[in-house]
Homo-oligomer: A and B are copies of this chain.
Amino acid sequence: MAVYTDVSEDALEQFLTRYNVGQLLWCKGIAEGVENTNYIMATDKGQFILTLYEARVSETDLPFYLGLMNHLAENGLETARPIRQNDGVIYSQLCGKPAALIEFLEGVALKSPNNQSLFQLGVQSAKFHLIAADFKLSRKNALNLAAWRPLLASCGDNLSHIAPDIKIGLQAFLTDELNYLEANWPQNLPQGIIHADLFPDNVFFMQGELSGIIDFYFACNELYAYELAIIINAWCFETNGELNITKVKAFFRGYQSIRPLEKVELEAMPILCRGAAIRFLLTRLYDWINVPEDALVIPKKPTEYIRNLSFHQTIENFSEYGIE
C-alpha cells in the first residue's frame, strides 16, 4: 500500500496531453502496489491506472514489462494494456519518475479463493506461458537461485529473534537450505517468460470468473514449473498452515488442460516449492529488517514462508502434493 509520489493536477493534465485519452475527470491514489505509486483516474474517454515507477523498478526494464503486457493483451490474455502516447512511446517522465498509463481492469482480488478460482488461475497461467513465448524481449530473473545467498547475507547476522522456534537458528536453517538447493537445483526444465509474482493480490475476479492479471514487475525468463511452485506457496496453504491439496489439484488440472507438464517438471515440484518459499522468505526478511522510518507500507513478517519451507522439506515425491 503506497502513494509515494504526489502528482499535482497541473502536472497530470500536462502529462495527459501526450495521450489521446480526453479530459481528466478525477484521480485518486490507490493503496495497491508495493513497488510503485498507483493512481486510478478517469477521463471522458475511460478509466486508467497511472503508475509511477519508484526506485525499486529499474527504468531499463520498462520496455520489457510494458511490452510484455501489450503483447499478452494483444494476444488474448485477460490483462491490462499500456496506452501508447501520441508519438508511440509507451512510457515517459512525470514528476521526475518514469510513468505509464494503463488500461483499467475491472475485478476484485480474492481473499478466499476457492477450487474454481484455482482451476481458472491454472488455465490463465498456462496461457500466459504459451502466449509470452512469442514475446521478443527477455529479462534475467534478478531474484533467482544465485541471488538468494547474497540476499541472506545482506540481512545481517542477528536473525534468530525472528524465528525463535528454530533450534539451530534462522541463519543456519537458511544456510543449510541454500546448500541443498544449490546442490540439487534442476537443470534443463522447460523455460520461458513467467509472471513470477502471481499472488492473489495480482489476480482479479468478477462474478466468480477470472477477469485479469496485473503487476508484471517481476516477470522474467525462468523455469515454467517455478511459476507453479510460487502459486502453490501463495494460494494453496490455509491460514492454519496446512496445504490444501484440493486447491493444488484444481490448479494443476487447469494448467495442464492448456499446457501438459513434462514428467521432469512434476518431479522437480518439491525442490521448486522449496526454492519459491525461500525466495519470498528472503525478500520479506530483508524488508522486515530494513523497514524505513517513514515507511507507508507495513512489511509482511517472513513467518508464513518459514512455515511453508519447513513443510516442503518434508515432501519426498510430487504426488504428496496431490498432483497426478
B206 x A25 contact (CB < 8 A) = yes
B107 x A25 contact (CB < 8 A) = yes
Q: Counting CB contacts under 8 A, is A111 at the interface? A: yes
Query: With contacts A26-B106, A206-B26 known, is A111 near B9, CB below 8 A?
Result: yes
A10 x B108 contact (CB < 8 A) = no
The minimal Cβ–Cβ distance linking A210 to chain B, given in whole angstroms, is 13
Interface string of A6-17 (1 = CB under 8 A from B): 101110100000
Closest to A31 in B: B29
The residue from B26, B108, B109 contacting A204, defined by CB atoms under 8 A apart: B26
- Range, interface on chain A: 20 to 34
CA distance A187 to B294 in the complex (A): 44
A25 x B106 contact (CB < 8 A) = yes
In the complex, chain B residues whose CB is within 8 Å of the CB of A207: 23
A28 x B26 contact (CB < 8 A) = no
Copies in the complex: 2
Q: Counting CB contacts under 8 A, is A143 at the interface? A: no
CA distance A9 to B203 in the complex (A): 13
Q: Counting CB contacts under 8 A, is A163 at the interface? A: no
In the complex, chain B residues whose CB is within 8 Å of the CB of A108: 9, 12, 24, 26-27
Q: Counting CB contacts under 8 A, is A277 at the interface? A: no
The minimal Cβ–Cβ distance linking A65 to chain B, given in whole angstroms, is 21
Which residues of chain A (190-207) have a CB below 8 Å from chain B? Answer: 204-207
Q: Counting CB contacts under 8 A, is A30 at the interface? A: yes
In the complex, chain B residues whose CB is within 8 Å of the CB of A12: 108
In the complex, chain B residues whose CB is within 8 Å of the CB of A112: 8, 10
B26 x A29 contact (CB < 8 A) = no
B1 x A107 contact (CB < 8 A) = no
User: Which of A9, A29, A108, A298 has the most CB atoms of chain B within a 10 A radius of its CB?
Assistant: A108
Which residues of chain A (287-323) have a CB below 8 Å from chain B? Answer: 294, 296, 298
Q: Counting CB contacts under 8 A, is A102 at the interface? A: no
Q: Counting CB contacts under 8 A, is A73 at the interface? A: no
In the complex, chain B residues whose CB is within 8 Å of the CB of A23: 207
Q: Counting CB contacts under 8 A, is A103 at the interface? A: no
Q: Counting CB contacts under 8 A, is A83 at the interface? A: no
In the complex, chain B residues whose CB is within 8 Å of the CB of A109: 9
Identify the A interface with B (CB < 8 A): 1, 3, 6, 8-10, 12, 23-32, 40, 42, 105-112, 204-207, 294, 296, 298
